[in-house]
Amino acid sequence: MKEYTANEELKLREAPTETYVSNILRRLRRNRMGMLGLAMVFVVLVAVIFAGPLSFGKSPYAMLSPADLKPGQTTPEFMTPNRDHILGTDELGRDAWSRLLYGGRVSLLIGVVASLTSIFLGTFVGLVSGFYGGWFDNLIMRFTDTMMSIPTLPLMVVLAAVLKGGVLNLILILVVFGWMGDARLVRGVTLSLREQEYIEAARAVGASPWRIMFRHLLPNTAAPIIVSFSMSISSLIIYEASLSYLGLGIPQPTPSWGNMLYNAQNYIFSAPQLVWFPGLAIFFTSLGFNFFGDGLRDALDPKLKL
Amino acid sequence: MDNREILVDIKNLRTFFYTEDGVVPAVDGIDLTIHRGEVVGLVGESGCGKSVTALSIMRLIANPPGKIVGGEIFFHGEDLLKKSDDQMRLIRGDKISMIFQEPMTSLNPVYTIGDQISEAITLHQKIDSAEAKKRTIDMLHLVGIPEPERRFSQYPHEMSGGMRQRVMIAMALSCNPELLISDEATTALDVTIQAQILDLMRGLQKKLGMAVLIITHNLAVVAEMAETINIAYAGKIVESATAKEIFKSPRHDQRAIASHRGHGPVPLSHAQRLPF
Amino acid sequence: MRNFLVRRLLLIVPMIVAISLIIFILLTLQGDPFHQLLMNPHVRPEDVQILMHNWNWDKPLPIRYFNWLKEFVVSTFAPRAGNGWGFSLLAPGTNARALILQKLPLTLALSGGSILLSIIIAVPIGIFSALHQYGFGDNVGTFFAFFGMSMPSFWFGIMLIIIFGLKLHWFPISGMHSDMLPAGGQLVDFYAAPWLARLVNRAWYMALPVSVLSLLGVGGWMRYTRSSMLEVVRQDYVRTARAKGAPESVVIRKHALRNALIPIITLVGLTLPGIVGGAMITEQVFALDGMGRLTLQAVLGNDMFVAMAILMIDSLLVLFGSLLADILYAVADPRVRYS
């Protein structure tokens, strides 16, 4: 039998102690589509965080006055892309590139915050409902089913019409109709784990229900929740845009990708470039989050790999 | 030694799995011989490559991630690894058949058990469906399923685990195979049912005379049934002997394996208590 | 099975009541149609008073709610006795029922057509993708699935209009059919044209909207089929089928596919509710006069009874869609059928 030196021995012992997280990260790194998604998300994040410097000092609100026109330019509105305005100007003579960056800030903020809030709410409801079970669970789940049975978009439209726009209101609307899926997911996991021996053991040593829920059950729901988070940002950005498109989103003059499209659709004949870019931005961002979420799911669920 | 004709001769079989975390040599140079009508045991702890050996004989290793990278499996003197997929398909279920560990999930939930057994028959024999049905009912009767006519049109979920394993055996034996591979066929069952199924398999082996390769982690299962016992460890056969020899002087029992790993020997009083 | 159905139907009743309450509260917050009627100079205040009295609108909210719910149920099950789910503010002289029945066929055709189209496209691709997991075809398929899922439908619609309507002039960009059709060497009124010409003309007009709605569905259906199939091909019974000596085509078609399709069939029932929501955006983009646009007009225009009726019908579609899903599930899966 081979003799090992102390150093080799140490290495051998260290080898299998790769942690769960680093294991996942390694698998994620190998997933080309997932990494592409991550890169896309990164690009978008950088663009909206550094919207100020990236817009070359042009305000998203400032309207170009006719006095600022350079020779050869006729009107400050509907300018096609040129050296001063890389995406041109909109119907009010505002810099489209600057609006795109700042609009992304708003759209992304809504997507991320609404998604996080829905997940917190959904996880809490699912955890409590699944843990306590019985009539309580039944009641909560009937309510969840009821909420799911109401057609989302029409009801969002009603709520948006009642609440009259605004970032916070929009987030509220998206959360009200966004938590049910996560609640069901977490409840399912909780139900399947509730009877496991280690939960029994925790109970036997006198852990409080809250401790069991948050220390023992919650970590097990982390994987599906993280995937759901990434994917739901994508769908919430699209929802925000859809509501804005129907004229129920963020009110002017605050830019968001949705309301930029809403305005631009009136000029598809005269200035189609105004439609191109906000739509591409939504598409790019949501594709990025979807790719990333899918890569994450593959990394978290090695079962599917084999 | 054995003067019966050699049915299966596995030489230096190597089956590797190419996973994300590296190459796993599940089977790394296994040699195994099965004579016509012989009952052979392949025993070892889980992960030692015994199931992979069975699936390699059947050529049912999922690729990717698995691949048979070397060796030969002679069946009647012909190398199974050199056969085309179609030729192999004609052998599977006809000359060589296999029963699996999980009776609860090994039957297709959306077809009746009668359908599934008849399918195995009609795949290999040119007979009409009425004849196949008759044969199926005979097989169900043979494996001790009461009221076979009624059971014929039942779905798997309407049966217990033991009954389903009997169905699997009926399916495996329906074409009179020369070799039956039983991969942990009784492990998932209750102890009493386990004994019944083992009894049934013993009886059927005597009656039909096919060779049987019993794969298990439980020496007690093969102790009474197998003539030859092979003990596998880490993808290799570490001991091969007749059942009598093994129980008299175990060379590669748990103690041997433990010292192989570099730990001290584990005291054992009786081979049958091997906690494989 | 029958017990199960009865239980499910009984469960639906309280859910409908809960949904109706939520809808009523939300639309009450949104505005009061009678108030708007009173402001209309062409309507006599006395008439409004009578109408309000008929609807119990001079009474407290709970009574208004129960009265409306009662009227809704009556109009649904005994249309002759009812008042057609209430009057319409925006289309005076008609009631909600008439309006909805008039707009529904277009939406059903649009959504039905696109659901069918997306399934026909997506399921085979999803199966192929699963059978060649991580292969080139799978990666391309997955890429396009996410492509469709990440696309804002209205933007895609606008892009199609710009490209195929305005630039290439291949397809009409709005409306449901031409006014005049060529028939027998001359132009005749659309409704006088032969049925085949009318059908072709309608299909031509529907091409872009159906493409938009289908693209949205294809991604989801494909991913779903793929994961369902991936799940199934790993099952022990698929291995059993191979061990029997079944050819690969039989293993896939008979043993794997049949099981993989069970959840997909079920999902068809669950897609029904998306019909109006999905059509809302598409109808708006292509200026089609269907349920989706009606919903938007009713909600924004304070046309309370019409809006409530649409939302109720929508919710009923969801509930019966999931019931249908359960029934389909039972039909497809013997394990459910017999328990």
pTM of the model: 0.80
Q: Which of A261, A269, A291 sits opposite C166 (nearest CB)?
A: A269
Confidence grade of residue B276 (pLDDT, cut at 50, 70, 90)? very low
Note whether residue A61 is domain-resident.
no
The CATH number given to whatever domain includes residue A245 is 1.10.3720.10
Q: Please tell me which residue of chain C has the smallest CA distance to A235.
A: C150
Q: Is B144 left (phi over 0), alpha (psi -120 to 50) or beta?
A: left
Cβ distance of A306 and B19 shorter than 8 Å: yes
Note whether residue C321 is domain-resident.
no
Note whether residue A31 is domain-resident.
no
Q: Which residues of B59-89 are buried (b: 16+ CB within 10 A; e: fewer)?
A: bbbeeeebbbeebebbbeeeebbebeeeebb
CA distance A306 to A283: 31
With CA atoms as reference, report the closest residue to C302 among C86, C101, C106. Answer: C86
CA distance B108 to B92: 18
Confidence grade of residue A306 (pLDDT, cut at 50, 70, 90)? very low
At residue B267, the 3 state secondary structure works out as coil
| Number of independent structural domains in chain A | 1
Q: Which of A155, A238, A290 sits opposite C146 (nearest CB)?
A: A290
Note whether residue A40 is domain-resident.
yes
Q: Is B47 left (phi over 0), alpha (psi -120 to 50) or beta?
A: left
> Is the pLDDT assigned to residue A29 strictly greater than 50?
yes
Q: Tokens representing A137?
A: 């669970």
pLDDT attached to residue B274: 40
Note whether residue C122 is domain-resident.
yes
What is the mean pLDDT of the segment spanning A142-171? 82
pLDDT attached to residue A76: 67
pLDDT attached to residue B33: 87
**The domain containing residue C284 runs over which residues?**
106-298
pLDDT attached to residue A118: 92
State CA C104 to chain mean position distance: 10
What is the mean pLDDT of the segment spanning A28-32? 79
What is the mean pLDDT of the segment spanning A246-271? 81
B232 Cα to chain A: minimum distance (Å): 20
Q: Tokens representing A161?
A: 């019409």
pLDDT tens digits, C270-303: 777 667 777 888 888 888 888 888 888 888 888 8
Q: Tokens representing B31?
A: 């040699």
Q: Please, where are the H alpha helices in chain C?
A: 2-30, 33-39, 45-54, 61-77, 96-131, 136-150, 153-160, 195-233, 236-244, 248-250, 258-271, 274-285, 291-300, 304-332, 334-337
Chain B residues within 8 A of A1 when measuring between CB atoms: 262
Q: Which of C 128-147 lie inside 8 A of A, CB atoms?
A: 139, 142-143, 146-147
Q: Tokens representing A191?
A: 């139900």
What ipTM does this complex have? 0.82
With CA atoms as reference, report the closest residue to C219 among A234, A202, B40. Answer: A234
Chains with 3+ CB–CB pairs under 8 A to C are A, B
CA distance C47 to C42: 11
Note whether residue A159 is domain-resident.
yes
Q: Which residues of C38-66 are buried (b: 16+ CB within 10 A; e: fewer)?
A: eeeeeeeeeebeeebeebbbeeeeeebbe
Helix axes A152-163, C274-285, angle to 10 degrees: 60
Residue B8 per-residue DSSP state? E
Note whether residue A78 is domain-resident.
no
Please report, as a single letter, which amino acid is at residue C257. L
User: Which domains, from first to last, does chain B contain?
Assistant: 6-273 (3.40.50.300)
Note whether residue C209 is domain-resident.
yes
Q: Please, where are the H alpha helices in B178-271?
A: 191-208, 219-223, 243-248, 254-260
Q: Tokens representing C80?
A: 């002759």
CA distance A271 to A293: 35
> Is the pLDDT assigned to residue A9 strictly greater than 70?
no
What is the mean pLDDT of the segment spanning A20-41? 82
Q: Which of A157, A272, A279 sits opposite C296 (nearest CB)?
A: A157
pLDDT attached to residue C205: 85
Confidence grade of residue A223 (pLDDT, cut at 50, 70, 90)? confident
pLDDT attached to residue B261: 44
Q: Which of C146, C158, C277 sits opposite A151 (nearest CB)?
A: C277
Note whether residue A5 is domain-resident.
no
Cβ distance of A241 and C139 shorter than 8 Å: no
Specify the DSSP element, H or E, that contains A39.
helix A32-49
With an 8 Å Cβ cutoff, is C331 touching chain B? no
| Rounded percentage of chain B residues whose pLDDT exceeds 70 | 89
C245 Cα to chain B: minimum distance (Å): 5
**The domain containing residue A111 runs over which residues?**
36-55+98-300
Cβ distance of A154 and C299 shorter than 8 Å: yes
CA distance C39 to A46: 52
Chains with 3+ CB–CB pairs under 8 A to B are A, C
With an 8 Å Cβ cutoff, is B267 touching chain A? no
pLDDT attached to residue A10: 42
Most C CBs within 10 Å, among B60, B110, B155, to test the C interface: B110
Chains with 3+ CB–CB pairs under 8 A to A are B, C
Residue B238 per-residue DSSP state? E
Note whether residue C38 is domain-resident.
no
With an 8 Å Cβ cutoff, is B115 touching chain C? no
- Taking a C-beta distance cutoff of 8 angstroms, is the pair B120, B126 a contact? no
Cβ distance of B155 and C338 shorter than 8 Å: yes
Note whether residue C6 is domain-resident.
no
| Rounded percentage of chain A residues whose pLDDT exceeds 70 | 84
Q: Does residue B267 or residue A187 have the better pLDDT?
A: A187
> Is the pLDDT assigned to residue A143 strictly greater than 50?
yes
- Taking a C-beta distance cutoff of 8 angstroms, is the pair A70, A84 a contact? yes
Q: Which of B94, B106, B158 sits opposite C245 (nearest CB)?
A: B94
Weakest-pLDDT range from A63-77, A184-198, B23-37, B198-212: A63-77
Weakest-pLDDT range from A17-21, A121-125, B56-60: A17-21
pLDDT tens digits, B30-54: 888 888 888 888 888 877 888 888 8
Helix-, strand-, coil-residue percentages of chain A, each rounded to 5: 75, 0, 25
Note whether residue C254 is domain-resident.
yes
Note whether residue C156 is domain-resident.
yes
Q: Which of C243, C255, C338 sits opposite B58 (nearest CB)?
A: C243
Residue C212 per-residue DSSP state? H
With CA atoms as reference, report the closest residue to A201 among A215, A219, A187. Answer: A215
Hey, how many other C-beta atoms are within 10 angstroms of the C-beta on C184?
A: 8
Q: Please tell me which residue of chain A has the smallest CA distance to B20.
A: A27
Q: Which of A1, A30, A305 sits opposite B262 (nearest CB)?
A: A1
Q: Which of B20, B65, B262 sits opposite A30 (nearest CB)?
A: B20
CA distance C225 to C205: 30
Q: Tokens representing C205?
A: 């007009």
At residue B78, the 3 state secondary structure works out as strand
Cβ distance of C284 and A245 shorter than 8 Å: yes
CA distance B236 to B13: 9
Q: Which residues of C165-178 are buried (b: 16+ CB within 10 A; e: fewer)?
A: beeeeebbbeebbb
The CATH number given to whatever domain includes residue C218 is 1.10.3720.10
Cβ distance of C338 and B158 shorter than 8 Å: yes
- Taking a C-beta distance cutoff of 8 angstroms, is the pair A161, C296 a contact? no
Exposure of B23 in the CB half-sphere (CA atoms within 13 A): 9
Note whether residue C165 is domain-resident.
yes
| Average pLDDT of chain B to the nearest whole number | 80
Cβ distance of B19 and A1 shorter than 8 Å: no
Cβ distance of A306 and B262 shorter than 8 Å: no
CA distance C197 to C193: 6
With an 8 Å Cβ cutoff, is A15 touching chain B? no
pLDDT attached to residue A288: 92
At residue A109, the 3 state secondary structure works out as helix
Weakest-pLDDT range from A15-24, A245-254, C49-58, C116-125: A15-24
Q: Tokens representing A244?
A: 């804005």
CA distance B15 to B68: 4
At residue A101, the 3 state secondary structure works out as helix
Which residues of A sit within 8 Å Cβ distance of C? 33, 142-143, 145-146, 148-155, 157-159, 161-162, 234, 238, 241-242, 245-247, 261, 265, 268-269, 272, 275-276, 278-279, 282-283, 286-287, 290-291, 294, 304
| Number of independent structural domains in chain C | 1
**Mean pLDDT for each 10-residue chunk of chain C (339 residues)?**
78 86 84 76 76 77 83 78 73 79 86 87 89 84 86 87 85 77 75 78 85 84 87 87 87 88 80 74 86 86 84 84 81 70
Q: Please tell me which residue of chain B has the smallest CA distance to A299.
A: B20
Give how far Cα B156 sits from Cα of B105, B162, B163, B169, C263, Å. 9, 11, 9, 14, 19
What is the mean pLDDT of the segment spanning A219-235? 83
Confidence grade of residue A4 (pLDDT, cut at 50, 70, 90)? very low
